[in-house]
Structure 1
């Protein structure tokens, strides 16, 4: 589990893609301070497993499906990426619950300055927008952000200078693709509110409850 608080911006060193397997190599510092093989690191919001590391570099295998269904497929040597280690049990919960399993991608449709802040508007499909609520949480490229506005076709966030300086958001422009992960709580609530399928009826009815004094 992650929190959406980016620890550092790393740099892609190599992306190798083939028909059978792919891997990405990333230069970093902070996230490698206590790294072990098998650790989880979120790269632009996508949870990847460390398969190899050396001084200043780690490598992770990436399924071709992940490359094609996320913004990771557009990465190249020199691309900056947001990095966050999985949250420690005694860590500070500064963002929101982020699983590292993105729901899809969005497209930056507008970037505008508003005093010291910068507004980003992102278009997304209805299946993603249905879980986005004003003042709720959204992870954009792994960054925990608060939704400022939602429409039928897009949503907007307002970024303070610190967030822009500590993440890759400052490099985003109109037309760029970003990874999106909805707040997982909303998805669980929706699932639990649906009637259970293929289960036997309990036999408890309003008539039964009234007859027995309920």
Structure 2
């Protein structure tokens, strides 16, 4: 229904961003909302997917058409809904997901929130050999935007934890990596990426 939305980035929460277009604020759920932190107040373009079901109607947004395409492919896998697809994309390393699917690496795929052995096997069955059109131009450029560093990183750390919880990670899982993360001085987006790498090891 909507290919993309252009507008001013007005608000960022752990689960979604709000883009003002012509006086209308569009609530758009994204894999990692804090990846847009450096664009607060500026005009952005978000590629969107309008998801409609009996119990939900929502806009999902992505930085590129290729990321959007991967999200749609994941939705076609039995057992994966929008939240699960966002959690997979939020890893910050989508090329690893494709590699895991191509190599039938179930052990890697089950590390994502909401993905059990059955769903991992289904991802491989449904997507193996069908993602090559996304890989060449998409993965090398994914999440290459650097966010502006700030002196006080307490808020960034707390925002990152909220985003990780929104993705489905439990308090127990997050407590295991919290000591390591607190040693770093990063932006919210960088905290999330670093945390996800540790959680997916």
Question: TM-score when scaled to structure 2?
Answer: 0.32
- Greater Rg by CA: 1
Question: TM-score when scaled to structure 1?
Answer: 0.31
Which of structures 1 and 2 has the larger relative contact order (alpha carbons within 8 angstroms, sep 6+)?
Answer: 1
